[in-house]
Amino acid sequence: MIAASRPDRCARCGANLAADNGSGRCAPCQRAERDRIVAAPDVPPSFWSHEPLRHALADRHLGRVVRAYRHHPYHGRQPLPQTTVAGWFGITQAQLSRIENGPAVVHLDRLAHWARVLRIPAHTLWFRLPPAPGDTPVPADAVEVGPHLIRALRSADRQVGGKNLYSAVLAHLVTFSRPTGRPPAMPPQVLMATTVLHEMAGWMAHDSGDSTTSRRHFLDALALAVDSRDALLVAQVHGSLSHLACHGGNAEAAISHASDGLGAVAQEEAGALIRARLLVLQARGLAAAGLTADCHASLQRAESAFAEAAPAPTEWLSPFDRTSFDIESARCLLRLGDVTAALRILNGNVTERPGGRVRSQALARMLLATALVGQARIEEACDLTHQTVELTHGLGSAVVLDQLRHLALLLRSHAVRCPDVPQLLDRLRDAIRERRWVALPLPTK
């Protein structure tokens, strides 16, 4: 019996393959694709001729198509995990399992979305794909409008919070966005604007308390940033994903995204500022993991990178200034229990006039108040909390609201010993009640 021919080199990196490796990918490339993939990969046309996939498509059952897709030999010896594909779709692993094993989905909007996510060729589908926002030509003036729009939205976001602006960003994405597949090349400016708008929408969703929607936008932004081949933008989005993971208590993912971002800009001469941001985010993950020595080492490297950094070399990168750097550093130190060092960093920040930086100044004040409570300096903490309540009136930020709730919990145990606390607790209770609108669900895409 003649053995089937096997490839002898990795199709991805050209490395020699073991005699029993018929996947066409070496083990490191298989692991890299599985571990780092954030969107469905580009696959060759022959991928869709695989017999199980053809049968699933002929059965008109997209759940079975997804299962056949996950088990395709192209992905290596092990199938793609359900959690990975569910992440592309923006659903849970349990939901994907029900889709794969349950009755056929008939809703056209879901079928179209999932087909685009997997990049299934239209001619193989049993339904017609409706036009997507990116199928229409991008207005000519969008190329010029993009940078000015991004600056205006960033400025407004710092003053009024993500909850108040998320719908506006979604509306602009309709103009700039494209389908998940690979249409003809977009103008670079439009691709960059779409990437940044998705990342901005992710931050606004996070600021509104919706981590699931936030992550979906960040993953869309990362896929677009990779398409743009702009290493600095890829690194920036990894930083956003690192922050989100740390906020959600996933220290391992926070460290991993920061490390991936640092890898993206390792050879970039103009990358000092983004390296400083990624290093301090990496330090946050290390602090959350309890790795004190590693956290301090990362903070020292971040400080060195920040000291040598020039202003952002491209208008598409988010501002990252001294106040932002200090807030992230203080978060690390507070997590490690070094209240004195956190106080030393934050004291200089709260003297700054807020101007157009309402949210960052509010966060600095609340972190400082938290540190003061840790040193039993309750009256000073109360004064700062009163300032924060006044400063953030009308700010649509669930992150700020959560911090106010946290301060209320910290101060409650001091209500008997400090006469300033009961009045402040009453004010916090009223402020939190008045801002319940921040927790209302976000509009959907």
The gap from C-alpha 253 to its chain's centroid, in whole angstroms, comes to 11
236 is a domain residue: no
User: What is the mean predicted confidence (pLDDT) over 413-421?
Assistant: 90
Return the percentage of the chain with pLDDT > 70, whole number.
Answer: 82
Domain termination residue (choose one: 128, 151, 181): 128
pLDDT of 392: 83
In angstroms, rounded to a whole number, what is the distance separating the alpha carbons of residues 224 and 189? 12
Number of domains in the chain: 2
- Are 400 and 387 within 8 A, CB to CB? no
Nearest Cα residue to 245 out of 260, 255, 234: 255
Q: Model-level pTM greater than 0.85?
A: no
pLDDT of 183: 43
pLDDT of 168: 80
CB atoms within 10 A of CB 413: 11
Averaged pLDDT of the chain:
81
* pLDDT tens-digit series, residues 239-270: 999 999 998 899 999 999 999 999 888 888 88
Domain termination residue (choose one: 128, 147, 164): 128
Kindly provide the b/e burial profile for residues 100-133, where b requires at least 16 CB atoms within 10 angstroms of the residue's own CB.
beeeeeeeeeebbbbbbbbbbeeeebeeebeebe
User: Does pLDDT of 37 surpass 60?
Assistant: no
- Are 289 and 245 within 8 A, CB to CB? no
Q: What is the extent of the structural domain holding 391?
A: 321-439
* pLDDT tens-digit series, residues 93-108: 888 899 999 998 888 8
User: What is the mean predicted confidence (pLDDT) over 170-195?
Assistant: 67
344 is a domain residue: yes
Domain CATH for 36:
1.10.260
Domain CATH for 424:
1.25.40.10
User: Does pLDDT of 13 surpass 60?
Assistant: no
Residue, of 153 and 326, whose pLDDT is higher: 326
Q: Which residues pair with 9 in a beta bridge?
A: 16
Domain termination residue (choose one: 128, 145, 165): 128
281 is a domain residue: no
Residue, of 176 and 246, whose pLDDT is higher: 246
